């Protein structure tokens, strides 16, 4: 009776693949399930189909234990497990701000239909509040008579680039809507993080769903707040970095997520605030809608501001000017270019007729697949060759360590826009560059 619960993980993207590997690492028997055969075959062969530091090593190690496997066969996987995690994506709809719930519904239906014995379905995907209640109706409808299937919500907070660590050592574990038996099961699943001190928060379904969404909305708000203040700083001749350090000393404020610059992107923050906007609107919570609209607008305004700075640096038009872009990923330590501010700015300048050359240490291939019309370089030196202006758009360490003297020699005019406020601009100026930093006076 003390046997560890066996686990399935539906969806093997960033969230699911990391969760499956982490659970196997914690000693559980885990089957990762996906409808995408190519993904399943890659993972089964020990290959992670995206860049995530530490994950390939852990995948290899856990596959070797025999506790972890990947399959497209949902029925067999579900028949051999008791805890079923739903980790599929909830992308933004093409035609609105709403989240597309097709994949969550399909995965939940697949699990419910395949269940041959009692079990718990654990939603991890980021969903609009109210989704889990609807999924419960699907489960009730689809599950075979005599099988008890309970659906609970357990949001995931992992950051790309730190996914493994965030999964094994979460800041908190939140479980919504669980019966005492399901709660006990999840306490077993998360026994190690709980023993290490991760708070275990027990709540209802809607609160659990909203915890995730509001955590991301708050982080987005912090970034847009500092970017709004950065605009004041620029106009007033103040320095937003020093300001952020100073206000960040107040523990109620905290220094993290107060880096002014190009703003937030990626697969989560932008779509999550838009989905919240949409859902809050449906629920008549208009103050939340208004706040999220401002957060989104300020954020998108940062991209426009960087484009404007580049145009200004080129004397009013970028037509046929050479622009070197350092960074394409939405942040360092990932090859993810979903809603990447960097790639967005590069594409906007390309559309205005500039000759844009992009270099990113990891995201070159994913960027090329998204925007094939840009030129891609294989080094920073190559990207700045013959340029009129260079933009630092993703703050990879490689760029922070680069030698400004060597780079200056490759340009036509050594002119830099630091859109992340992370370069030692004094050193760049000493090397002959003119520099412009978002959030500091020109
Ligand atoms: C985010 C949340 O942090 C994570 O908890 C949630 O589970 C998923 O969404 P992630 O999308 O991986 O994680 O990226 P994050 O590290 O939060 O960065 C988001 C964006 O904000 C990046 O584009 C980054 O460049 C930007 N950012 C971050 C800033 O512009 N300024 C900051 O101070 C911090």
343 and 239, same structural domain? no
Cβ atoms within 10 Å, residue 246: 12
Mean model confidence pLDDT for the chain: 97
Residue nearest to atom 9 of ligand 1 (CA): 268
149 and 23, same structural domain? yes
Average of per-residue pLDDT across 10-35: 97
294-309 confidence digits (pLDDT tens): 999 999 999 999 999 9
Q: Label residue 3 by pLDDT band (50, 70, 90).
A: confident
161 and 89, same structural domain? yes
Q: Label residue 442 by pLDDT band (50, 70, 90).
A: confident
Does ligand 1 have an atom closer than 6 angstroms to the CB of 158? yes
Report the binding-site residues for NAD(+).
34, 39, 90, 126, 160, 271, 338
Q: Give the domain extent around 340.
A: 302-437
Percent of the chain with pLDDT over 70: 100
In angstroms, rounded to a whole number, what is the distance separating the alpha carbons of residues 70 and 17?
A: 10
57-95 confidence digits (pLDDT tens): 999 999 999 999 999 999 999 999 999 999 999 999 999
User: Does 193 reside within a domain?
Assistant: yes
Yes or no: say if 392 and 418 are a contact pair by the CB < 8 Å rule. Answer: yes
Interface ipTM: 0.96
Q: Label residue 122 by pLDDT band (50, 70, 90).
A: very high
* Bridge partner list, 391: 325, 417
CATH number, domain of 131, equals 3.40.50.720
User: Does 1 reside within a domain?
Assistant: no
105 and 55, same structural domain? yes
CATH number, domain of 269, equals 1.10.1040.10
pLDDT of 2 reads: 65
Yes or no: say if 224 and 190 are a contact pair by the CB < 8 Å rule. Answer: no
CA 264 to centroid of ligand 1, rounded, Å: 6
Burial 125-164 (b: 16+ CB within 10 A, else e): bbbbbebbeebbebbeebbeeeeebbbbbbbbbbebbebb
Does ligand 1 have an atom closer than 6 angstroms to the CB of 15? no
User: Does 208 reside within a domain?
Assistant: no
Using a 10 angstrom Cβ sphere, with 0-12 exposed, 13-18 middle and 19 or more buried, the burial of residue 236 is exposed
User: Does 442 reside within a domain?
Assistant: no
User: Does 421 reside within a domain?
Assistant: yes
* Bridge partner list, 122: 85, 152
260 and 141, same structural domain? no
312-347 confidence digits (pLDDT tens): 999 999 999 999 999 999 999 999 999 999 999 999
Residue nearest to atom 16 of ligand 1 (CA): 159
Burial 16-33 (b: 16+ CB within 10 A, else e): bbbbbbbbbbbebbbbbb
Residue nearest to atom 25 of ligand 1 (CA): 331
Q: In this structure, what token pair is assigned to residue 404?
A: 């400004």
Coil, helix or strand at residue 176: strand
Yes or no: say if 99 and 23 are a contact pair by the CB < 8 Å rule. Answer: no
Q: Of 255, 272, 297, which marks where a domain is finished?
A: 297
Residue nearest to atom 26 of ligand 1 (CA): 264
Please determine, for residue 1, whether its predicted confidence score (pLDDT) is greater than 50.
no
**Pocket mutation for ligand 1, best pick of 266, 363, 418 (most atoms within 8 Å of C-beta):** 266
DSSP letter string, 122-152: EE-S---TTHHHHHHHHHHHHSPTT--EEEE
C-alpha triplet 49, 53, 57: angle, nearest 5°: 75
Percent of the chain with pLDDT over 90: 98
291 and 179, same structural domain? no
339 and 251, same structural domain? no
Does ligand 1 have an atom closer than 6 angstroms to the CB of 223? yes
Per annotation, catalytic residue among 87, 233, 268, 314: 268
Q: Residues 6 or more apart from 409 whose CB is under 8 A from it?
A: none
Instruction: Say if strands 68-71 and 30-33 run parallel, antiparallel, or are unpaired.
Output: parallel
Residue closest to 353 by CA, chosen among 307, 412, 293: 307
CA 255 to centroid of ligand 1, rounded, Å: 14
User: Does 412 reside within a domain?
Assistant: yes
145 and 160, same structural domain? yes
pLDDT of 440 reads: 86
62 and 126, same structural domain? yes
268 is catalytic: yes
User: Does 2 reside within a domain?
Assistant: no
355-373 confidence digits (pLDDT tens): 999 999 999 999 999 999 9
Q: Of 256, 274, 297, which marks where a domain is finished?
A: 297
40 and 19, same structural domain? yes
Does ligand 1 have an atom closer than 6 angstroms to the CB of 157? yes
Does ligand 1 have an atom closer than 6 angstroms to the CB of 264? yes
* Tally of structural domains, the chain: 3
pTM to 2 decimal places: 0.95
- How are strands ordered across the β-sheet holding 7-10? 68-71, 30-33, 7-10, 83-86, 119-123, 149-153, 173-176, 200-203
Average of per-residue pLDDT across 389-418: 98
In angstroms, rounded to a whole number, what is the distance separating the alpha carbons of residues 413 and 427?
A: 17
Does ligand 1 have an atom closer than 6 angstroms to the CB of 331? yes
Q: Of 203, 234, 251, which marks where a domain is finished?
A: 203
144 and 175, same structural domain? yes
38 and 184, same structural domain? yes
């Amino acid at each position: 009776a003390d046997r560890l619960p066996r686990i399935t993980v539906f969806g093997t993207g960033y969230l699911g693949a990391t969760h499956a590997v982490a659970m196997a690492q914690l000693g559980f028997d885990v089957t990762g399930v996906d409808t995408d055969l190519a993904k399943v075959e890659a993972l089964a062969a020990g290959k992670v189909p995206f860049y995530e530091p530490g994950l390939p090593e852990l995948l290899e190690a856990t596959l070797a234990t025999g506790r972890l496997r990947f399959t497209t066969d949902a029925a067999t996987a579900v028949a051999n497990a008791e805890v079923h995690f739903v980790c599929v994506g909830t992308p933004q709809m093409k035609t609105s701000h709403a989240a597309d719930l097709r994949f969550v519904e399909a995965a939940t239906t697949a699990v419910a239909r395949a269940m041959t014995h009692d079990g718990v379905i654990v939603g991890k995907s980021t969903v609009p509040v109210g989704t889990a209640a609807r999924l419960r109706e699907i489960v009730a409808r689809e599950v075979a008579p005599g099988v008890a299937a309970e659906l609970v919500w357990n949001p995931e907070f992992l950051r790309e680039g730190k996914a493994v660590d965030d999964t094994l050592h979460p800041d908190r574990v939140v479980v919504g809507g669980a019966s005492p038996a399901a709660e006990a099961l999840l306490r077993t699943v998360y026994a190690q993080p709980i023993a290490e001190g991760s708070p275990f928060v027990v709540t209802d379904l809607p609160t659990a769903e909203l915890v995730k969404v509001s955590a991301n909305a708050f982080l987005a708000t912090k970034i847009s707040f500092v970017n709004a203040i950065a605009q004041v700083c620029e106009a007033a001749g103040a320095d937003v970095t020093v300001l952020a350090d100073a206000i960040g000393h107040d523990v109620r404020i905290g220094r993290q997520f107060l880096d002014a610059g190009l703003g937030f992107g990626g697969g989560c923050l932008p779509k999550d605030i838009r989905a919240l906007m949409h859902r809050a609107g449906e629920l008549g919570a208009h103050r939340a809608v208004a706040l999220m609209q401002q957060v989104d607008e300020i954020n998108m305004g940062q991209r426009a501001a960087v484009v404007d700075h580049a145009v200004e640096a080129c004397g009013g038009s970028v037509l046929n000017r050479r622009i070197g872009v350092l960074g394409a990923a939405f942040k360092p330590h990932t090859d993810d270019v979903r809603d990447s501010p960097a790639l967005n700015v590069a594409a906007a300048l390309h559309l205005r007729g500039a000759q844009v050359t992009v270099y990113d240490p990891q995201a070159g291939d994913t960027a090329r697949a998204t925007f094939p019309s840009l030129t891609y370089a294989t080094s920073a030196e190559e990207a700045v060759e013959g340029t009129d202006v260079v933009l630092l758009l993703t703050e990879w360490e490689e760029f922070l360590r680069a030698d400004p003297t060597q780079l200056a020699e490759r340009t036509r005019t050594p002119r830099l826009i630091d859109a992340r406020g992370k370069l030692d601009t004094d050193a760049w100026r000493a090397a002959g560059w003119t520099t412009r930093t978002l959030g500091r006076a020109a």
